[in-house]
Amino acid sequence: MKTLIFNGSGRKNGDTENLIQELVQNLDGEYKIVNTFDGSIKACVDCRYCWTHPTCCVQDGWAEVALYLQECDNLVIASPIYFGELTGPVMSVLSRMQMFWAAKLFRKETLPIKPKRGGIILVGGGNGSAAAAIKTASLLLRQMNAKEIGEEVFCFTTDARKAADDPAAVEQVKKLAQFFNKM
C-alpha cells in the first residue's frame, strides 16, 4: 500500500506535521510526503502545454510526484487553515493537477490515475470554520481520483494546546489510518 501526503504547512515540527507523523506511524505500507512550502514544485502557469502533451513542460519536482500519484492507493491533504482555507503553497502545488484534467477534457484520455481513498487533516487556532477548506480539499481529492474520502481530521485548538496533545485529533488520525489500512 502506498500513501501520498501533501503537507501544506511551512512550520517544521508544527501541529500539522505532528498529526502527519501520527498518521504515518499507524499506516501500513510506504508513504511519500510532499512538503509544499519547500518550493521545489511551482504552480501551474497555464501555458496549456498539457492540452496536447501527456506531461507538464515545467521541469521541477512535479514529475516524480505525478508518477507516485498515479500508483498510490491513498491520498492525504494536510494543511493549517489560513483565513478559512487551505494554505497557498498546497493550492499552488495541486494546481499542477491541470495536466490530468487536460488529459480527460482536451485529449479525451481516460484518467491515468487508479482509484484511491482520500483523507483530510486540518489544523488551526481559534474556532473558525473549516467549511471552505473541506470543500476545496474534497474537490482536489476527487480530481486525483479519490473515490472514498474518510472522516476529516480537525484540530482547532492549537492556540491553546498542541495538536499532538489533543486526544480527539489524535484519535481521528488513528481512525483515518485504519480507513486506509482496510484495503
What pLDDT, in 10s, does the model give residues 109-163? 987 688 999 999 999 987 778 899 999 999 999 999 999 999 899 998 898 899 9
Query: For position 111, what pLDDT does the model report?
Result: 73
Residue 168 sits in a domain of what CATH number?
A: 3.40.50.360
C-alpha cell at 141: 481529492
Query: For position 128, what pLDDT does the model report?
Result: 74
Q: Give the containing element (helix H, strand E) for 67.
A: helix 62-71
- Write b or e for each residue in 151-167: b if 16 or more Cβ atoms lie within 10 A of its Cβ, otherwise e: ebbbbbbbeeeebbebe
What pLDDT, in 10s, does the model give residues 25-74? 999 999 999 999 998 999 999 999 999 998 899 999 999 999 999 999 99
Show the domain range for 156. Answer: 2-181
Dihedral sign of CA atoms 62, 64, 69, 70 in order:
positive
d(CA 72, CA 74): 6
Query: For position 113, what pLDDT does the model report?
Result: 81
Residue the block writes with cell 481529492? 141
Q: Could you write out the DSSP letters of every residue in 116-174?
A: EEEEEEEE-STT---HHHHHHHHHHHHHTTEEEE-PPEEE--TTTS-GGG-HHHHHHHH
- The pTM score is 0.95
Evaluate if residue 105 carries a pLDDT over 80. yes
Query: For position 129, what pLDDT does the model report?
Result: 83
Evaluate if residue 183 carries a pLDDT over 90. no
List the beta bridge partners of residue 5: 33, 76
Number of domain units in the chain: 1
